[in-house]
Every structure is written in structure tokens, then in C-alpha cells.
Structure 1
Amino acid sequence: MKATRFGRNAAIAVLAVGALALSACGSDNATNAPAASQTATGPKVTGTLTGVGSTAQGAAMDAWKANFASANPGATVQYSPDGSGAGRKAVLDGSSQFAGSDAYLTDAELATSKTKCGPDGAINIPVYISPIAVAFNIPNVTDLKLDATTVAKIFRGQITNWNDPAIAAMNAGVTLPDLKITPVHRSDDSGTTQNFTDYLSAAAPSVWTDKSAGLWPASLGGENAKGTSGVVKTVTDTPGAVVYADDSAVSGKLGTAQIKVGSDFVKISADAAAKAVELGKPVSGRAANDLAIKLDRTTTDSTAYPVVLVSYHVVCTTYDTQATADLVKAFESYVVSDAGQQAAASAAKSAPLSKALQDKAKAAVDSIKAKA
């Protein structure tokens, strides 16, 4: 795939869900009733669609499921938020029709996907862009400034107290308590962990000597919990604790860090996360409709927040039946549409896909087919 930058336009063009003319080829948070502007449109479909994966997508997925079911009374989307690794495994072994994953398929996983997904295998379609918060429970402190090296040392257990000189030097005027730091990480195979460790290994390589991975390094200590909601609850209940988690799940009781980018500190926001994705490039060597993105974790652009995840829906290019292909295409067409992206932004504070990326995602969805 040609390594051109994904552009970003603040205004998202309206995309209607296209006609489902197909041919051949093989939660963390609840939402309210869908707003009219966020409902799914297009030809009606029926059946049950099963997905497994990302807990970071939980709030967005709840909105997508509710809105899609409202528009298609005969259709149900079941989603089990078991983590990104579990989601990719489920697609590869054929036990689910799609996965939610905060990490794109590796080359080895793409090769394996051809067993269940036909000769063209599976593809990664971006559906959800969100910043990863470095969130902490420090009494009377809601905002801190941290650089990558300090964050890495905190999570490696090399900085163990909140009034450490390295933290104090970046936070003049903030009263830092003499309080033990308790790092909290995911116990499950997590795309959020993959993205967070990818940031640390790129931005603080002299400290974070482990490779990026979905599983937290076994050699490191700290508390752990399963899923986004699990780690956020642990930090909320533990004074002095700190965690990396999808911003949509961080409660108002926790503080969040500004991250140093270049010579400035960048506050966490959907817009800054979207800018970081704009600076990314397509992963080389992928098929035209595989939209995996390589993020630039070391950017010096102070309008970008580099601790970001792009969460994907991993789908087959080929399904066994036309009915399954139609159902997958209908749901995914809604998810990447303007209405679907607005629903996710309302439910999860996520950044809508840019117009350019949205158009690429819709084309990828349209390429899904059924066996001849």
C-alpha cells in the first residue's frame, strides 16, 4: 500500500449507508436512546452478528449496537468485550464474524486469516480514534505535566513517589504529596497496552527497553486488573495509583496528565488524538483495503497527542454466506458513516474519522463479499 499520509478534515462529510448489492466471497458504559442524527439508515437486514474484542470500544459499541438494532428490528449485534487479543483470535478461528481490536493484525495473523476468511484473508478497518489517558488518583491534584521518560520510569517502578524531583521539576506550583505510586496495568492481552508500550518504546527507548506488546512485561511489578473498566476501578479505589486507559472510561474522580510533545505539554483531547492519526502513515505491504496505520509516536507537533489508539474492526474479506456478508456490510457501513462516528463521539469522547479516512473505510467495507 502506498505510504501516503491520511489527511484530516474537521468537517466530516455525510455518508449514507450504501445499497447492499453483493456478489460472491467466505462494555464498559451504557448509552441512552439514539439521537435522530445518529441513527443507521439504508436497506434493512436481519440476523445475528457476533463480535469479540476491545474494551476501549465499549461505550461506542453500545451506541452502535443500539442504533443499528433500532434501524433494523430483525438484526442483533452481540459483542463480548474480552480484549483485543481475544477478538483477533476469535476472528482467526472463525468463532466471531468481526473483532474489535486496538492493534492491527500482524503479518503472521494476516496469513492465518486466510484459513477462515478466504484467499484475501482479513482486513483492518479503523472505526474508533481515542486518546489513551495517563490517569492518576492523587488527592487534590487533577492535572500534571509529564514527559515520556518520566512516564516510562513510573510504570517501570523506577520513580516510586509522587513528590519525586523529576515530577516536581515539571510541575512548579503543584503541591505533590509524599505518596507511594502504585502503577496499574492490564492483566489481559490488550490493544491499549500495545499502543501504550508502543509509545513508551518509541518516545523513551533508553528507559522502556521492552518491545511493544499486548501483554504487559512479566518482569514488571504493579497491580493489574482485567479490561478497561477493571483497571480504572482499581485506580479509583487506590490513592496514589496510576494507569493508562482509554479516555472514554476515565471518571471525573481521576486526574489526567498532559504529555510533553516537542517543547510543549499537550492536554488530552479528541482533536489532538485525531491530529496524531493524521500524522501517521499506512502500514507498508498491506492490501489496498487494509487500512492499518503506523503512528508517529515521536512527533514534535504540539497540536498532536501521541499516546493515542486507533481501534479497528477486523473483518473477513470473504464470508461463507451472502446473508452474513450483507449483515457485516450493513453494520460496518453504519459504524464508519457520519452518523455512526457522531454516535461514538457522543458516547465515548472519541474523534470521528477524517473525511479521507472515512472514504477509505467505506470502500473497504464495500469490498466485503460472499463465497461464489
Structure 2
Amino acid sequence: MRLRWLSSIQISLFLLACPVAHAVDLTGAGASFPYPIYARWAAQYHKDTGHRVNYQSIGSGGGQQQIIAGTVDFGATDDPMPQDQLQKHELLQFPAVIGAIVPIVNLQGVAPGELRLTGPVLADIFLGRIERWDDPAIAALNPGLALPARDIVVVHRADGSGTTYVWTHYLSQVSPLWAAGVGRGKAIKWPTGHGGKGNEGVAAYVRQIRNSIGYVEFAYAHQNGLSWTQLENRAGHFVQPSQDTFAAAALAASDDQTPGMALMLDNQPGAQAWPITSASFILVRRHPNRSEHNQQVFAFFDWAFSQGAGMARSLDYVPLPEPLVERIRALWGAS
């Protein structure tokens, strides 16, 4: 608690030293996964404080590259950097928000949440092993659902993407064929399909292309009126993407002690847990000449943790559990 008190005092003193007349401008870049909530937070933060935060949705790979190069005040990534890389590049990493990735489909007559898929079937679709919507493996999961006798059009990310990292991390856990043949990463060699840039690009392609399937952060599916699927979770239950199922997976975050706070929340064991849930992370430079910039970044995210939980929920994200926020503030105070 003492560390939290110290870090809060440091942040408050910094804000007092930066009146609105000399408004602070912060720049950040990286993951498209959290872009909707970062944009909402930035707009409200400017109204509340006069300080501006300009966040560019360029993908997790770009966010990591730009913070390493020192061209932004903070980078954002859904693919957490390992401890050795954080030390090599003198970076500090902490999670900022929890969200979820969902399969999205464009199938005539199929409503959001109506289609059921399992992890292995999903992997076989993206491997190109299941090529048609009326394949027996899909039909067996969806008795009574009129599936089109059409080829499946796979849509994936074309850019280096933390969303892809989480997606392939999940597929590697549920499909030995995927793990052995493709593996996980921000950028992979896709067995089949068409690429779209960012969550925005994948959402746009699936909306435009009949009989397609892709994957995006849930906010993009919800805001664009796209049809998502149910998924079977690790407990063997078919679940819908929702605040409750994301929060069920996020329970693992409270006690996580992974170095660099690089917690992974996919394929959690809870009965109601959504299987492709993920935290999104912030990166800042540890170099002494960045300390003033870092205090500005910490002030923004301290405000977000304190004032932005309702905005996060309204966009289908899950705010960080309070014990985790306590640890992050202590990390700021010790940096």
C-alpha cells in the first residue's frame, strides 16, 4: 500500500506541475486490439485534464519497434515481450486492459452467436483442412442450422499483430496439427486465406465477403454488427463472448506472477471462461532522460484505471482487477 501511495503522490505532483495552459501531448502506437478503448480514454482525458494522447493503431509489431526506437512515448502490444527483451531494450511493461478475440463469420441466415465451433475445428478451418461450411465436422456441432454448401473464405491479419499472436497461441494449445505445422507468432506463414491490415481491415473484409471467417477483438465485431460464433472452452462448455465470460477468464490475472507481467489468459479452465481472452500491454523506456515522459504516461493510465472502467465495459473490455492495478502502481513507484 505504501508504494501505491508514493506512486499516486508522484503522479499528482507531476500533474500539478503541468497546468492545462501548458497541456501535455503524448504519442503512443501499436496494437489495434485496444484501439477503441484507448481512443475513448484519450478523448475523455483531454476533456478532464486538457492533456492530449494521440494513439496510432499500427499493430503490436510496430508498437514494439517504435518504443525501442524512442519515437513514441509509449508502445502497445498484445504480444507481451519476454523478460530478457525488456532488459535488453531497457523497457518497462504493464497490462492496461483485458479484452477478447472472437471468430467472426459472414453467413446468410446465421445470427450472431448462433454458429458453434470448437478449437480443433477452428484450427482445421485456418489450416485449410476444412474447406466448406457444410463439412460434416461443422454440421455435427450445429444440428438444425442451415449451413451453406459453399467454400469457406478465410481472412487473417496481413501485418505483424499481437491479435494474431494470441489467436495462434490459442490454436497451438487446442490443435497439435497447428502447433506442429504453423505455431504461434505475431506474423506467421498462413496455410490459406486472405490478409487484412489491423482488426479494422479483417472486420471490413469479413463484412464485405460472403461465406468468410476471420478473427477480431470483440469490440470490432460488436460495433460493426458482425456475427460472432460460440466456442467450446477448456471445460467443455459452449460459451458466448460477453462481459461475464471475459471476466471469468480474467480472474487468472489477479494472482499472476509472470516476469514482466506477461500474463496469458487464453484457454483458462473456468466453466464460463471465454477461451480467447487476452490482456493488452504498455511499454515505456526506462532510460533516465525519459523519466518526465514516463510520468506523463503513468498519469494517463492512472486516470484510466481510476476513471475509465465504465468506458472499458461499455466497449466490451474488462478493467484490470484491483489487485493487479495495485501491483502496477507499485511498479511505477519503483521505476
**Fold similarity call, TM over 0.5:** yes
Match of 1:267?
240
Stretches of 4+ aligned residues off by more than 4 angstroms: none
Match of 1:235?
206
Find the aligned partners of 2:163 and 2:290 in 1 and give their Cα distance.
Answer: 33
1:175 counterpart (134, 137, 146): 146
Match of 2:132?
161
> Partner of 1:126: helix, strand, or coil?
strand
Q: Given that residues 332 and 365 in structure 1 are in contact (C-alpha distance below 8 angstroms), is that contact kept between their aligned partners in structure 2?
A: no
Q: Given that residues 44 and 71 in structure 1 are in contact (C-alpha distance below 8 angstroms), is that contact kept between their aligned partners in structure 2?
A: no
Q: Which runs of 5+ in 1 are unaligned?
A: 1-14, 24-41, 115-121
1:87-126 equivalent positions in 2, closer than 5 A:
87-114=63-90, 122-126=91-95
> Partner of 1:149: helix, strand, or coil?
helix
Cα gap change, 1:71 to 1:318, in 2 (>3 Å): farther
1:306 counterpart (254, 275, 284): 275
Find the aligned partners of 2:133 and 2:104 in 1 and give their Cα distance.
Answer: 13
* CA positional deviation for 1:327: 1.2
* CA positional deviation for 1:233: 0.3
Counterpart of 1:109, as a letter, is Q
1:1-372 equivalent positions in 2, closer than 5 A:
18-20=8-10, 43=16, 45=18, 46-73=23-50, 75-114=51-90, 122-142=91-111, 143-209=114-180, 210-215=182-187, 217-251=188-222, 253-261=225-233, 262-279=235-252, 282=256, 284=258, 286=259, 290-295=260-265, 297=267, 299-337=268-306, 339-346=307-314, 348-368=315-335
Q: Given that residues 237 and 272 in structure 2 are in contact (C-alpha distance below 8 angstroms), is that contact kept between their aligned partners in structure 1?
A: no
Cα gap change, 1:308 to 1:105, in 2 (>3 Å): same
Find the aligned partners of 1:200 and 1:67 in 2 and give their Cα distance.
Answer: 37
Deviations along 1:40-64, whole A, 9 cap, x unmatched?
Answer: xx74733221111011111101111
Q: Given that residues 103 and 194 in structure 1 are in contact (C-alpha distance below 8 angstroms), is that contact kept between their aligned partners in structure 2?
A: yes
> Partner of 1:294: helix, strand, or coil?
coil
Q: Given that residues 319 and 325 in structure 1 are in contact (C-alpha distance below 8 angstroms), is that contact kept between their aligned partners in structure 2?
A: no
How many residues of Structure 1 are paired with residues of Structure 2 in the alignment?
319
Deviations along 1:309-334, whole A, 9 cap, x unmatched?
Answer: 21011123444155323312211211
Find the aligned partners of 2:329 and 2:302 in 1 and give their Cα distance.
Answer: 6
Counterpart of 1:83, as a letter, is G
Find the aligned partners of 1:48 and 1:136 in 2 and give their Cα distance.
Answer: 39
> Partner of 2:8: helix, strand, or coil?
coil
Cα gap change, 1:275 to 1:174, in 2 (>3 Å): same
Counterpart of 1:357, as a letter, is L
Find the aligned partners of 2:269 and 2:12 in 1 and give their Cα distance.
Answer: 45
Find the aligned partners of 1:321 and 1:154 in 2 and give their Cα distance.
Answer: 46
Find the aligned partners of 1:278 and 1:168 in 2 and give their Cα distance.
Answer: 33
> Partner of 1:245: helix, strand, or coil?
strand
Pairwise CA RMSD: 2.3
More contact order relative to length (CA 8 Å, sep ≥ 6): 1
Cα gap change, 1:265 to 1:223, in 2 (>3 Å): same
Q: Given that residues 152 and 208 in structure 1 are in contact (C-alpha distance below 8 angstroms), is that contact kept between their aligned partners in structure 2?
A: no
Cα gap change, 1:357 to 1:66, in 2 (>3 Å): same
* CA positional deviation for 1:180: 1.3
Q: Given that residues 123 and 291 in structure 1 are in contact (C-alpha distance below 8 angstroms), is that contact kept between their aligned partners in structure 2?
A: no
Counterpart of 1:97, as a letter, is D
* CA positional deviation for 1:99: 1.0
Match of 1:8?
none
Counterpart of 1:334, as a letter, is W
Deviations along 1:244-299, whole A, 9 cap, x unmatched?
Answer: 10000014542211111223101111221222132356364x2xxx32213352x4
* CA positional deviation for 1:170: 0.7
* CA positional deviation for 1:185: 0.5
Q: Given that residues 265 and 276 in structure 2 are in contact (C-alpha distance below 8 angstroms), is that contact kept between their aligned partners in structure 1?
A: no
Q: Which runs of 5+ in 2 are unaligned?
A: none
